[in-house]
Structure 1
Amino acid sequence: MLLDFFLTCNKIGAFTLGGGYAMIPIMEREFVDKNKWMDKQEFMDIMVVAQTTPGIFAIDMASHIGYKLRGVWGGIVGAIGIALPSIIAILVIAMFFQAFKDNLYVGKFFRGVRPAVVALIASPCFTMAKTAKLSWRNIWIPIVCCLLISLFGVSPILIIIAAGVGGWLWGMFKSRKQN
Structure 2
Amino acid sequence: MSYEKNIYLVGFMGAGKSTVGRALADKTGKIFKDLDDIIEERENKKIVDIFEEKGEEYFRRLESEVIEEVSKSKNYVVATGGGAIVNPTNFQKLKESGVLISLAASPEAIYERVKDSKDRPLLNVENPIEEIKRMMFERAYYYIKSDHIIETTDRSIEEIVEEILELI
**TM-score, normalised by the number of residues in structure 2:** 0.30
**Structure number, greater radius of gyration:** 1
**Higher strand residue share:** 2
**Higher helix residue share:** 1
Higher relative contact order (CA 8 A, sep 6+): 2
